[in-house]
Amino acid sequence: MKYGFVTTLDDTFSNAVERVRSALQDEGFGVLTEIDVKATLKTKLGIDRPPYMILGACNPALAHQALEADPDIGLLLPCNVIVREEPDSTITVGFMDPEAVLSMVHKDAVATIASEVRSRLMRVKQTLNESASG
pLDDT of res. 29: 98
pLDDT of res. 47: 97
Looking at the structure of the chain, the number of domains it has is: 1
Residue 134 lies in a domain: no
Residue 51 lies in a domain: yes
Instruction: Report residue 30: phi and psi, to 5°.
Output: -110, 160
Name the residue among 6, 3, 5 with its Cα closest to residue 92. Answer: 6
Strand ordering across the sheet containing 4-9: 4-9, 91-96, 79-85, 52-58, 30-36
CATH number at residue 55: 3.30.310.70
Residue 133 lies in a domain: no
Residue 80 lies in a domain: yes
Q: CA torsion sign, 1 to 100 to 63 to 37?
A: negative
- Spatial separation of the C-alpha atoms in residues 56 and 37, rounded to whole Å: 13
- pLDDT-derived band at 131 (thresholds 50, 70, 90) equals confident
Give pLDDT tens digits for 46-94: 999 999 999 999 999 999 999 999 999 999 999 999 999 999 999 999 9
Work out the mean pLDDT of the chain and round it to a whole number. 96
- Spatial separation of the C-alpha atoms in residues 56 and 96, rounded to whole Å: 10
pLDDT at 134 over 60: no
- pLDDT-derived band at 133 (thresholds 50, 70, 90) equals low
pLDDT at 132 over 80: no
- pLDDT-derived band at 1 (thresholds 50, 70, 90) equals low
